[in-house]
Amino acid sequence: MTLALAPMEGLVDQAMRTLLTQKGDFDFCVTEFLRVTDKLHSERAFRQICPESLSDWKTPSGTPVHLQLLGNHPQAMADNACRGAQLGAPAVDINFGCPMYVRSAQKSHNSRNRENKINACGETYGGSILLQFPEEIYQLLSTIRKALPSHVPLTAKMRLGYEDKSLAIENAQAIEAAGVSQLCIHARTKIEGYKPPAHWHYVANIKEAVNLPILANGEIWTLDDYILCKQESQCDDIMLGRGAVASPDLAHQIQHYETTGEKRAASPWRQHLLYLNWMILELQNLQPEKAIHGKIKQWLSFMKMQHTEAQACFTHLRTATTVTALLDAIAVMLQDEPAFNQA
The catalytic residues are 98
Q: For 166-320, where are the alpha helices, taking DSSP H only?
A: 168-177, 200-209, 223-233, 242-246, 250-260, 269-283, 289-303, 309-317
Q: Are the C-beta atoms of residues 246 and 221 closer than 8 Å to each other?
A: yes
Burial level of 339, CB count in 10 A (0-12/13-18/19+)? exposed
- The 10 Å Cβ neighbour count of residue 122 is 10
Residue 323, CA atoms < 13 Å, CB-side half-sphere: 15
Q: Are the C-beta atoms of residues 216 and 194 closer than 8 Å to each other?
A: no
Contacts of residue 265, defined as CB under 8 A and 6 or more positions apart, other chains included, come to none
SS3 of 19-74: the string is: HHCCCCCCCEEECCCEECCCCCCCHHHHHHHCHHHHHCCECCCCCEEEEEEECCCH
